[in-house]
Amino acid sequence: MFIGAALSCATLVAQAPTAMSYQVMVVNPKNHHIMQNQEVNIRMELRKGSKSGSAAWSHDYTATTSQAGVCTLSLDFAGVNWNDGPYYLATIVNGEEAGVSPVNAVPYALQAMSLGGVVTKDYLVGTWKKDGSNSYFYIFREDGTARLEYYGYDGRLYEYYDYEYSIDVSGHLFLIERYDDGYTCPNMHVKIISENRMLMGTYDGYSYTRQ
């Protein structure tokens, strides 16, 4: 039933430096719609050496998806020696493997900023203006919601779109229209240029500056 999931870093758990909050987005492979408001059983495995390697760490969860099909889990990697990698993070949903993603030597979510230019949620939150334009803005919020706003030449808000968003371990941004039956927009690549500038788009992307 479930073969697609997207993993995204949320916020660092302040009291436990080995832990982080993670989001799993559950997708129906037949129609690509988000599985909304459903209880799911999720097993997370940190596999050593390869995608099919033995599990150096694992944990089982029971969670209920949100209206956006997202579950938030707390992953505590206490005892994991990151120097023994490489590691791969596997997600098993209702007994079926939903995806395996490579992890950096130290999970980027455990750092204040990203590793190697890969974006985190902490970095993304805020208002971003498309360079060379005064009419195109993305707003990303702490609660996982986002808005795309278009302004006219007169400075008035002309049109806007509301989304839920999620980021996977490779820096891919997933936007889900909040009022369109869980429809998922094409994922976008996001790459950091500097502390306040990034590239974002489905292909080469456009540059955006933090406001």
Over residues 50-76, the pLDDT tens digits come to 989 999 999 999 988 888 788 888 888
pLDDT higher than 90, residue 81 = no
In the beta sheet, which residues pair with residue 197? 194, 209
CATH 3.40.50.2000, applies to 4-110: no
Asked if residue 186 has pLDDT above 70, the reply is no
Q: Under a CB-based contact definition with an 8 Å cutoff, are residues 179 and 162 in contact?
A: yes
What was the pLDDT predicted at 113?
33
pLDDT for res 25: 77
pTM of the model: 0.49
- pLDDT band of residue 104 (cuts 50, 70, 90) is low
User: Bigger pLDDT: 167 or 171?
Assistant: 167
Average pLDDT (132-161) is 90
Question: How many angstroms separate the CA atoms of 106 and 13, rounded?
Answer: 16
Question: What's the burial of 132, exposed, middle or buried (CB within 10 Å: 0-12/13-18/19+)?
Answer: exposed
What is the residue extent of each domain of the chain? 4-110, 121-210
Domains 4-110 and 121-210 share a fold: no
Report which residue type is found at 170: S
pLDDT of 2 over the 50 cut: no
What whole-number percentage of the chain has pLDDT above 70? 71
Is 40:26 a contact under the CB 8 Å cutoff?
yes
- Confidence band of 169 (pLDDT split at 50, 70, 90): low
Which of the residue ranges 12-21, 43-52, 177-186 has the most confident prediction, judged by mean pLDDT?
43-52
Contact 20, 89 (CB under 8 A): no
Residue 65 burial (CB count, 10 A): 20
Architecture of domain 121-210: Beta Barrel (2.40)
